[in-house]
Structures are given as C-alpha cells and as structure tokens.
Chain A
Amino acid sequence: MATVETIGIRKHFGDVVALDGVDLESKEGEFLVLLGPSGCGKTTLLRIIAGLEQPSAGDVMIGRLVVNHLPPRARHIAMVFQSYALYPHKSVFGNIAFPLKAQGMPKAERAKKVEWAATMFGIERLLGRKPRELSGGERQRVALARAMVREPNVFLLDEPLSNLDAKLRTSARNELLQFQRSVGTTTIYVTHDQVEAMGMGDRIAVMHQGKLRQLGTPQEIYDEPNDTFVAGFLGSPSMNLVEREDVIVGFRPETFLPRALSTAPRNASVRFQVRLLRVESLGSDRLLYGVLRGPSGEQQVIAKLSSTVPLPVHPGETEEFVIATRDLRFFDRDTGLRTQARSFSL
C-alpha cells in the first residue's frame, strides 16, 4: 500500500503544454478519480505517475519516495489501459501470469496466483482462451486480473470501462468498486464521465487545460465548485451561470423551482421572471428550458423538476422562479473563481 503524490508536475510536448504544474496527493487506500474533458491532461498525468512518460518538471512520489528516475517496473504499480492491451498471442493464463514471470516467481506458485486472481474476477473457465475469443466485458476482467495479480501498491486505470456498452458499464462499475474496497489498494482512475466519477470516487480531481481545478469529495465538488469550469462541467444539466453586474451567479437546475413549488421563505430567496420556452420530459425528470432577462440581454436557464410533481407552469408564458439564497454560488466575472456571497440587482 502506498500513497501517490505529484509535486509541481509540468509536461510539454514541443510547444503544447499538457500539464501546467499539478500538485495532487492521494490518501492511503483511496479511490481517486481524475476527471476532465478530453485533452485536459489527465491521461498524461496518469502516464507520468506510471513512469511511461517523463515529466518536464516536478516530482512524482509513491509511498513517500521520489520515483522520477525509476522505470515503470520498479514503481510497483499496475496499469489497466483503455484498450486493455492484452497480449494477443498469449492465452488468458499467459496474460495474467506475465507480470509474475517478469518478477521471476517459480512456476508452481505462479499457477496458484493466477488461479486466485482469475477466481476473484470470475474468469477461471476462460484461462485457456486467447484474447480474441473473449467478449469486451471478459477482456476487461482479464486486464484487471493481470493488473492485480502481483498485488501492486497502486492501481492506475485509464478509462477502463469506456469500451463497454452502457448496461455492462454499470455492473462493471459496481464490481470494480467492490473489488477495490476489498483489496484496499490506492487507486487512481481516469475518466471523462462525470457519472462514473461521482459514483466511484472517494475524491475527484477535476482537471482542465493541464491544471488541477479542484480536489474534493464528489459532494464537495458538486455543491461547492471552485470556479465556473467545475460548476459547468459537473451535473446534468450543469449549473446555470447568470451574469449580474461584475459577478456570475450560479445555481443548480434542481434548486431552481417555479414559485408554486418552492418552500423557501421570501426573505431567504431570490426570484427571477423566466419566460418558459420548452419542457422536455426525460422519464423520471422534466427539464424546463427558459430565458430570463437581465441587464445584459437574455440568458438561457434550465430548471429540473421531478416527474412526480405536477407541472404548475406552461411553455410560452412568463413565470416566477425561486431559488433559496443558500443555493446560490458566486463567481468572479473576470477570473471565474468563487467569491463571497453578495447581493446583486435582478
């Protein structure tokens, strides 16, 4: 077991800056998710931690030791690739046994260990097969078994579920999480899927343009975003961001309610006149698309209502919508960073 720490990691490929000073510290046994849009540098950071890429500046520490100069094999990490990267010419047994063979483990012990890992992922009956004879879900399990068979200190996973279909992904998510909880190995998991991140991570590190934007528990990141990027990236639909004077006011669609449904007292809430354009039914929820008029023109806003409550408003009409003051978040208009709560004119 070990923690992973990156200190001031920078990486540029030619003129392109992939990572621009990333400081990140994982906790012991934690499931840490690196979340961000594609091109944000999350995979590069993972590869630098694995030792597959050298940082242009900064240090990587695993278990309190600087490992910058160590090759991947000496870092006691295991990595699962997005493509799974199974060895096509080896059987499932050969694939899982490969890291043990590289360690120089005796043959008999190796077989026992492979058996154990295969049982853990329920792939014992596949040991004789070649990767091309496996389904996507089976390949993913083989990749996980191969990664964990030598009991690494750190697991590095690069979007391991993105090649599975939606249904399989949900069950694979649960299995992976359960497995991580049972072995308690520090895990760093890269994804661009916020649902995966919210559902799996003990903590989430949100990255954007080579920088770490926020590190916190899923709830912290969702409720108290550090800046407008994080606010806009998480949540479906994402936070409404409305410009008022020199401040950006943010509120989640589910806190933005027609007056008839709001229980917030008048002195602890803000009211907006919204012209409702369209109502979209998503089955369990309804999305209400509207515009509100402000000093700088019209702005799009979205409200989210559960399908179980009756709809008190009608498209085409202008209605009053209410948000409790405690659900408002404020961001600086120039920097996008979170600022103190303040009053503003509607």
Chain B
Amino acid sequence: MSSAAPARRRAYFLDREDWLGRVMIAPAVIYIAALIGMPFFLALFYSFSNITVGTEELHFVGLKNFRAILDTPGFQVALKNSFIFTFVSQAIVLILAKILALSLVRDFRGKWVVRLLIILPWVAPISLGAIGWLWMLDSIYSIVNWGLRAVGIFGPSTWPIWLGLPKLAMASVIAVHVWRLLPLATIILLAGLTSIPRDIQEAAAADGARFWRQLFEITIPMVLPIMGVAVLFGIVFTFTDMIVIFVLTRGGPFDSTHVLASLAFFTGIEGGDLAEGAAIALFLFPLLVAVAFLMLRLARRSEVT
C-alpha cells in the first residue's frame, strides 16, 4: 500500500493537463525571468538611483540620471549614431542582400562555393572578424590602402586613416557591420525567393513584364513579409550591437562613433557609473519594443494567410 499510493498520485498528476502544461513551460519562464527579466528590472531600478561600482548603499534620485545624460553632448551623438548606424547599414544590407539573393537563386557552376563564402562571415565569431577588420583598416598596415594603391586607384598622396577620422570611422564601422549582417539577410531573402512559385514568374514573363517590372511588381511584393523579418532582425542586431564598435574604434575618435550600447558600456562598466549607464541603456528600450511589436504582427499575419 505504501508503494502504490505515490505511484497513483504521480499518474494522477501527469494526467492533469493544466498542471502538467505549467510545469513543462516553467523552465522557459524561469530562464527568461532570470536572464532577461531580472537584469531589465535591475537596470530600471539602477537608472533611478545613484549607484556606482563602489557604493554600498544607494538612494533613489528620481529622474536626475536621465536629465544628466540628456544634457551631455556625448549622449546626443551616441543617440544620433545609433539611428544612423542602424538604418544606414540596414538599407545597404537590404539592397546588397537582394542583389545577392537574386543572383544566387539562379543555377550556375560553383554555386555552392559562392554560397559557402557568403555564409562565412556569419559563422565566424564576430570578435575575430572585427579584429581582422581592425588590421585591414589599420593606419599603417591597412591592406585596403596598400591594395588600392597597388592597383592604382589611390595616388601616392592618398592614404585615408579609416578609423582615425570621425566620418571615415563611422563609415568603416557601418561597412564592417554590413559585411557581418549580409549573410543572414541573404539567406532569409533567398528562402523567400525560392518560395515564389515558378509559374508566377513565368506568367509575368509571358504577360510581357521586363526585369524591373517583374522585380518591383511581382518579386518584391511577394517576398515583402519575409523581407520584413530580415529587416526587423537586422534592426535588433544592429541597434543593440557594440562588438564592432568596441573592437574597431572603442567609440573614438573623439567619441564620434559611440552608439547607445557602447556608451552605456563605457559609462557604466568602464567608467563605473552604473546608474547613468543603466539610464543610457534604457533608451534602447522604446525602439526594441516597437520592433518586437511589428515582428509579432508580421508573424501573426503570415499565420493567418
């Protein structure tokens, strides 16, 4: 009797779908709460306090941190840079990915090699890739400069310091980021393109559409939902990313390439002012909420149709 009772109770518990469901989903909820929810609320809490790396007690200071950062020129630059960094790189990624996907959707010899090369930046660790770029854009050893000089594009007096001048540094950071995000966007778009029935492409050809009309009236509208996913992913990856900037410029020269994520890191962790760092990071929140909202809507729409 003593052994039968727990067994029966266990079976009874497994049969109760309401409880079983909750138990099964609990690990995911705990994981999200511990690794995303808690840091988020901690950051929220910190941003209204006067905490620094060294303090033992903290006080509630209201909106003081936010007021302080809004007034610093560094923050305003970083905020502006975040948007430039995100939207310029996304626009370039989108156009290049579209071209690449359109060429890769056709059959040609050695296609798998090209595909492999294109996916490579995505599977390589980003910090390694960024360090490679650091050398390629180095002020003395830049293979880009040497190369362009060797083929005669750069004259003897042209020697851009890629990471040393504010505008060039921003352009370099964006270029490296494009290099990094292009593979994923290409693969997503390629999946979208191959999902268009061949009949429809052929119907458009028989209906008299030339390349551009077919591209803008048939192909792009039909991959639009999938393109939306690629763009939203890209925005999240870019907006929250600081690895490329951390490795290439560390926010320099003259703090001209900081984005919100890197500024938050340098202020809060390197600079020790946890409260202000948290306040800066919180500015990422509204845009990410908007993106998450759009993503959920897109997912819902593709579910319905």
Contact = CB atoms under 8 A, between A and B. Distances in A.
Interface string B205-234: 111111001000110011010000000000
Contact of B208 (A82, A83, A103): A103
B206 A77 contact: yes
A77 to B, nearest CB: 7
B197 A85 contact: yes
Given A83-B197, A98-B217, A132 B305 contact: yes
For the residues of B in contact with A, the DSSP-based class is helix
B260 to A, nearest CB: 37
Interface in B112-170: none
B24 interface: no
B200 interface: yes
B199 interface: yes
B200 A87 contact: yes
A81 B209 contact: no
Contact of A81 (B202, B208, B217, B222): B202
Contacts of B213: 101-102
B202 to A, nearest CB: 5
A73 B210 contact: yes
B204 interface: yes
Task: Please classify how large the interface on chain A is, using the bins under 10, 10 to 19, 20 to 34, 35 or more.
Answer: 20 to 34
Which residue, of B204, B207, B224, B305, has the highest number of chain A Cβ atoms within 10 A?
B207
Contacts of A346: none
Contacts of B209: 73, 98, 102
A73 B208 contact: yes
A297 to B, nearest CB: 49
Contacts of A98: 204, 207, 209, 217
B203 interface: yes
A81 B205 CA distance: 12
Interface in B177-209: 197, 199-200, 202-209
Contacts of B208: 72-73, 99, 102-103, 150
Given A85-B197, A89-B221, A52 B204 contact: no
A225 to B, nearest CB: 34
Nearest to B199: A85
Given A73-B210, A83-B197, A102-B213, A88 B222 contact: yes
Nearest to A73: B208
A98 B207 CA distance: 7
A146 B207 contact: yes
Which residue, of B203, B210, B213, has the highest number of chain A Cβ atoms within 10 A?
B203
Contacts of A39: none
Contact of B205 (A52, A83, A150): A52
B221 A50 contact: no
Interface in A220-263: none
Nearest to B222: A89
Given A88-B222, A102-B213, A81 B199 contact: yes
A17 to B, nearest CB: 21
Nearest to B217: A98
12 contacts: A51-B206, A73-B206, A73-B209, A78-B207, A81-B203, A86-B203, A87-B203, A88-B200, A89-B224, A98-B204, A99-B208, A150-B208
Given A86-B200, A99-B207, 10 more contacts: A72-B202, A79-B203, A81-B202, A83-B197, A83-B199, A86-B203, A87-B203, A89-B221, A98-B207, A102-B207
Interface of A: 50-52, 71-73, 77-79, 81-83, 85-89, 98-99, 101-103, 132, 146, 150
Interface of B: 197, 199-200, 202-210, 213, 217-218, 221-222, 224, 305
What 3 A-B pairs come out closest when comparing CB atoms?
A: A85-B203, A85-B199, A102-B208
